Every structure is written in structure tokens, then in C-alpha cells.
Amino acid sequence: MSMVSQTLQGATLSSISNVIAQGISAYKDNVPFSLHVAPILKFAIFSIISNPPNIIWQNFLEDLFPTNVAIARPPSEKANGKPKSSASPRTRKSTQNILIKFMLDQTFGAVLNTLMFLAFIGYVNAPAGGKASAWDNVALETREKFWPMIYDGWKLWPAFSLISFLWIPVDKRIVAGCLVGMGWNIYLSLLVDA
């Protein structure tokens, strides 16, 4: 699946999750539902900005630490010292590679994604014409929400990350992550009140 296709699918799912979050907010506040386009656009734009680096990240992890690694064929499967040409290469799941990817994704990847999100939301939600600059708002958002988001993310993303590395092909991971992320994006939408 191409990067453009994955990015557009992710943006669509992100937009849908923001609409659902708006519905939840209206229900919680006991007010009539009114669709606000600005936050939907913010989440769609963030998805368009953040998905390509995440696609590159997933491909990078898979290239360096492939889930499936080739295993040598037993001598009985070789003809005259050469592997049989009709036999497809045999692979096994590499527990070591999966664990390395998991650790990198849940540390470096989680920090980078959280900072990207907070920087984007802090910047686009900065009050216009105030004394504080947009970057002051980014710093404030990061100070207040970074660790709570990281801790909350660790309640969801480690399980998905392991499932993803074990059974989801690398070119489908971003879209699968966006499907799972619909719930996460609802949480983010309610958290930042974007």
C-alpha cells in the first residue's frame, strides 16, 4: 500500500474519531450535537503530517529488525549441495527482533509521536494576539500533557505494537494502527478539547 493511500486512510479515520469525540462531548455535557469543522481539520492535517514519518519509521524498524528471518534448510532438503529451486525460502519469527522493535517503538517512537502531537496542537490552538507566542503554548502543552499522554498511551499501544509486529504486514501497520487509534484519537480529542 502506498504512502499516499495509507496517509489518506489515516486522515479519514482520524477525522471520524474527532466527530465521534464531539458527539461524546455533547452527550456528556447534555447539549445538542453541533459539528465543529475546525477540530476535524486539525486532526486530519495532523494525520497527514504525522503518518508519513510513522510509515518511514515502521519500514525502518522492519528493515533493520525483520519479524521473519530466513532459516537454513536441513541437508536433506538440498540437492547436490544446492537448495532446491522449487522450494520457497523458509522463515521463522525472530523473537529478538520483535522485542527490539517493540522497545524502540514504545520508547523513542512513543516520545516522538507524543511530542509531534503536542507541538502541532499547541501551535494551532495558540491564542491569537496574546502576550504568549505559539511556541510558549507548545511548551505549556508539552509540560502539562506529555507524561499523562505517555502513561495513558502505554495502556493501549504496547499490546497493539506486539500484535502489529507479530502478525500485521509492515505496509498495513499504519492503517491498522489508525483503526485502533480511533479510540486513542477520541481520547486525544477530548484531552485537548481541540
Give the pLDDT confidence score for residue 60 in this predicted structure.
97
Angle at 57 between CA 99 and CA 17, to 5 degrees: 100
CB atoms within 10 A of CB 84: 11
Over residues 50-71, mean pLDDT:
95
Q: Where are the alpha helices (DSSP H) in 65-154?
A: 95-104, 110-124, 134-153
pLDDT tens track for 133-161: 899 999 999 999 999 999 989 988 999 99
Distance CA 31, CA 69 (A): 55
- Maximum pairwise Cα distance, the chain: 79
Q: Is 93 helix (H, G, I), strand (E, B) or coil?
A: strand
Contacts of 188 (CB under 8 A, 6+ apart): 43, 117, 149
The DSSP code for 109 is: I
* pLDDT of residue 81 exceeding 70: no
Domain ranges in the chain are: 3-192
Phi-psi region of 94 (alpha: psi -120 to 50; beta: other; left: phi over 0): beta
* pLDDT of residue 131 exceeding 80: no
pLDDT tens track for 62-78: 999 999 999 887 766 65
Q: At what angle do helices 95-104 and 157-167 cross, to 10 degrees?
A: 140
Burial class (CB in 10 A: 0-12, 13-18, 19+), 86: exposed
